[in-house]
Structure 1
């Protein structure tokens, strides 16, 4: 796990945004479009693994994260699915209304905070646009000959993207439109806890909370989730300032109660990549050399938090008087 986190941090720091061209734009369902992206010169794109996402940087500096949902063996094309958000802050509305084939965007990544770990038995659970990171996982499970099943819920059938692709898998996929069949019955779908099964769930916060309840008696770490919005947080553990030493630069900063570590680091002239500002994308992951971080992200699992050797400095803070970071 430490190796995985180190790989994530290295990737994030090395992921300079590059220009890509929109080569295709298609309606995948009501309120969902897919974009295909490629280099202007047709050159090879960076490799990625199931669960990866990219940063889509739009005109005006808007940055949004979207899961890669295409063929990972296609070295020249990235595909993403974009839901038109009802309360859009500009990103999804721009993609739906203004972005055209031939337009150029900048892309950072890919990064993977939701990796598919080896198993011979997977259960996938998707809610709405949460189907996107699971599509490449299903393809990988098929390639490896693993057992798998998918429970896919959405508001209505016509708003559920990629149903035609999923139909090829037959009865291993159960599509449950809420207006026809109600909410997903996770307890019935999961059945009794079974060792060795890995459960992957992506979708809105209520679905993730329901999955956590349904998996409370399963073996530790059986359930893996990815969030599109940050989880609700309690008040910070401490409201007094703390010191942050940037070991490689030999600089010590003071972070006040109304500032983030990221803001303080940037104020000191240190350029750290960041994207979401909510602790959900993983871009600003930073190695902790000393001290006890207070994790306020929506990425790390409980055992990773206990290790305390990394933090996402856009939201996470310190439980100790001093942190030493590998910056």
Structure 2
């Protein structure tokens, strides 16, 4: 597949390849859609096996950001960037400053923030070369760590799902299996523990699991077994493609609702979950808390306002569920429909003006 064919497949407006010989920078910026506003999305640093993998990842992630912003009602488009490299070995202040100059060349069409493998400190380096940065440290007037708000949004969406399935939004006494105890997963565990949920956890890092067991009274299972744990809610908070042909027969939950991106290996797996009576909270709907929070920096950050907006993820998930039932489609398709409706509404005034 040619690069233009891949752009067409993902519906992407623009892609920028960035190379700086002096710093070793190899980066890609994808601007998926700017119908509703400038494209906002994080910069991921990852040691991709091939450049083709990096291109596919940035295109896929940028489309998810467009849909996430649209479903969340934000006046923003979707974009993403990736830096090819090992974040533990290949970072330097000069590399991020070089990347900042490329971001600046886009004239505000793309606003960058932190993501996997990057930090607020890295964004400060980018900020030295361009004003088009969000997700800065709170001490510098930014919104700080977005994982707090991502976890809050997942909790809100999880309540909406539990209410749909069990008739009450309460998580007290519910068994939640959390896959992945990173920044978001661990914060989600804390919130669920405070709600009175029973936790089953798994992570590749034994120290993180031991901490969750000690702090929250969680039950630990091996990473390979977390997807088959009998539970009310399965919360994927690590890698994507959790729901696949291989894992579907082993799921023993009523709800799938977590912070991971691209939970479904393929779109058809949303229908497969529906056929099994499992309610799926589409990833870009339920994990939008971080984006909603950081978007507040563009209008002057206010934490209370951000928390209020993140809490409305409950309503977004309920809306998607209602569309799913109304149209007889799985929730992932319902979420896409909602996003495309809002993008279409954003385009209509432009067409009329022309």
TM-score (norm: length of structure 2): 0.29
TM-score (norm: length of structure 1): 0.30
Considering fraction of residues, name the structure with more strand.
1
